[in-house]
Structure 1
Amino acid sequence: MAIEEQVLREIALADLHKEVQVYHNRGFRLVQVSCSMVEDSFELSYSFDKDFHFESLRVMVPPETTVKSISGIYWAAFIYENEIHDFFGLTFEGMSLDYNGTLFKTAKKFPFANVTFRGEEPCQRK
């Protein structure tokens, strides 16, 4: 059995809503939204599936940038967006359900925004 290549496209933040709408219109389901810190930016990955065909969009978001919610297209995205807000501090505008930073109770505000290795320096630089 041949392994199917998985599509990963990097797009501009300004194109995110339009691209997500295209996936919705083509009948793809939203699989997940994830966030990672890369250098000094947030890397958001949006993954979609249709008939076992998996595709992802990746967008780089500078700090202090507000991202337009996709929950108007995929309603359940609000849970991913609230989670990303609570762990990374990234702000989403227009979520279908906004927990205002209370979805997760954490000991440290935005614990994944500046992850360090034993308190020394960012993990990526180790």
Structure 2
Amino acid sequence: MSIEATNITADALVAEATRLKNEGWRLVTMSSVEIDAVNMEILYHFDKDLKLTNLRLSLPKGGTIPSISGAIFGAFLIENEIRDQFGVTFDGLVIDYQGRLLNECTATSTSSPFCRLLIKEGMTVAKEGK
């Protein structure tokens, strides 16, 4: 399955997200996908009048890109989650959880695409069926 999306550069990202917001588009969510061993993409999904438009930003794993949270405040949660799970750094986050949005997450750019959660000392994990 493919998603129609407009390719965008990191330099143009904030301006384009701001333009869409000013035209009445609403940020629905963002998606992250691993392309290969060194590259990934972030898709920005916007809705207006039940129509979707998407922006596609390609970047190296563990890369740094600008945050759109200054223009679209709610993006800070998605950007923090992507940081925790994929190791992407968002420059200029309005609220930056410093890689700790997902409690005790130890994700780094080398452990992406999934976050490894720690079990705190003294906690036990119940076995299934017990």
Measure, in 1, the Cα distance between the counterparts of 2:72 and 2:105: 30
Q: Give a deviation string over 1:19-59, Cα, whole Å, max 9, x none.
A: 11110110111000111111111200000001101100001
- Which residue of 32, 35, 60 maps to 2:32? 35
Q: Is residue 8 of structure 1 aligned with residue 21 of structure 2?
A: no
Identity of aligned residues (%): 35
Is the Cα contact below 8 Å between 1:30 and 1:49 reproduced in 2? yes
1:109 deviates by: 2.2
1:62 deviates by: 1.6
Q: Is residue 24 of structure 1 aligned with residue 21 of structure 2?
A: yes
Q: SS of the counterpart of 1:113?
A: coil
The alignment's C-alpha RMSD in Å is: 2.0
Task: Count matched residues.
Answer: 110
1:114 deviates by: 5.2
1:61 deviates by: 0.9
TM-score (norm 1): 0.78
Measure, in 2, the Cα distance between the counterparts of 1:86 and 1:10: 24
- Which residue of 87, 92, 95 maps to 1:97? 95
TM-score (norm 2): 0.76
1:63 deviates by: 3.1
Is the Cα contact below 8 Å between 1:7 and 1:54 reproduced in 2? no
1:105 deviates by: 3.0
> Counterpart amino acid of 2:9?
A
Measure, in 1, the Cα distance between the counterparts of 2:105 and 2:5: 34
